[in-house]
């Protein structure tokens, strides 16, 4: 199972709204678009159109992860991820947060999960993450239901005390190159500043050489005058 960013945002929004606002769930297309484009509790913030959300819903329905409620005046949509992946409530909450806000530390997940699931402590969050990361594969379970690891731990960032976790339902985030004492990433402005510095140093060295020569000539004249006296 591999979902693109729009599919992940749609699925995560459906999960969130089912838990947080059950009175308005399932969601109409317009409500779902607004949920996907929220400015809060989203990273990154998106600006999806109705067509983009509708296409994502169709693909999620093909995967069995979403379905349409057709007995309403307006078509409404709901997710089926708990049934498809056989998830517990705490596991569903963690996956939802990772889909909506990207990689996070256990501490961030606990502080942001209050509306979705109340974790007793960091150990409970860690236990949920490890359970999701160690799910057996389909071959190991002997069933046809999709399975296998759903989360993974990312390399710890320099200066960070906690490792971050990411879901495995889509592409892993790319890690930007890190700057350290052994490697410097030069921008055009940096290269321009370096060139200016080199030119200034060259001028200073030329002026020093000229002054040194002039001083040497002056010392020679003084020596000749003293020898003639």
Q: Same domain, yes or no, for 69 and 5? A: yes
What the block records as the tokens of 35 is 């949920």
pLDDT of residue 177: 47
Q: What pLDDT, in 10s, does the model give residues 144-172?
A: 555 699 999 999 888 888 899 999 999 98
Contacts of 17 (CB under 8 A, 6+ apart): 24, 25, 27, 31, 32, 35
- Best CA proximity match to 16, nearest among 105, 87, 108, 114: 114
Number of domains in the chain: 2
> What is the CATH number for 17?
1.10.10.10
Q: Same domain, yes or no, for 61 and 121? A: no
Bridge partners for 151 per DSSP: 167
CB 132 within 8 A of CB 149: yes
pLDDT of residue 200: 64
44 φ, ψ (degrees, to nearest 5): -85, 165
Model confidence at 98, in pLDDT bands (50, 70, 90)?
very high
pLDDT of residue 35 exceeding 90: yes
pLDDT of residue 180: 45
Which has the higher per-residue pLDDT, 224 or 45?
45
- Best CA proximity match to 33, nearest among 76, 92, 95, 89: 76
Strand, helix or coil for residue 79? strand
Range of the domain at 92: 87-173
Model confidence at 34, in pLDDT bands (50, 70, 90)?
very high
């Amino acid at each position: 199972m591999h979902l693109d960013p729009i599919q992940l945002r749609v699925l995560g929004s459906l999960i969130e709204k089912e838990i947080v606002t059950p009175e308005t769930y399932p969601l109409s297309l317009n409500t779902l678009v607004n949920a996907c484009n929220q400015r809060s509790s989203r990273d990154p913030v998106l600006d999806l159109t109705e067509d983009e959300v509708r296409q994502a819903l169709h693909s999620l329905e093909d995967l069995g992860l979403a379905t349409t409620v057709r007995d309403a005046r307006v078509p409404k949509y709901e997710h089926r991820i708990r049934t498809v992946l056989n998830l517990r409530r705490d596991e569903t909450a963690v996956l939802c947060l990772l889909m909506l806000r990207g990689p996070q530390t256990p501490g961030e997940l606990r502080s942001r999960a209050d509306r979705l699931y109340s974790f007793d402590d960091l150990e409970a969050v860690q236990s949920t993450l490890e359970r999701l990361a160690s799910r057996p594969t389909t071959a190991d379970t002997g069933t046809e239901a999709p399975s296998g690891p759903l989360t993974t731990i990312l390399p710890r960032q320099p200066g960070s005390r906690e490792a971050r976790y990411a879901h495995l339902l889509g592409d892993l985030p790319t890690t930007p190159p890190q700057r350290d004492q052994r490697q410097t990433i030069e921008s055009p402005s940096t290269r321009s500043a370096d060139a200016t510095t080199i030119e200034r140093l060259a001028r200073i060295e030329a002026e020093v050489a000229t002054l040194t020569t002039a001083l040497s000539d002056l010392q020679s004249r003084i020596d000749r005058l003293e020898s003639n006296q």
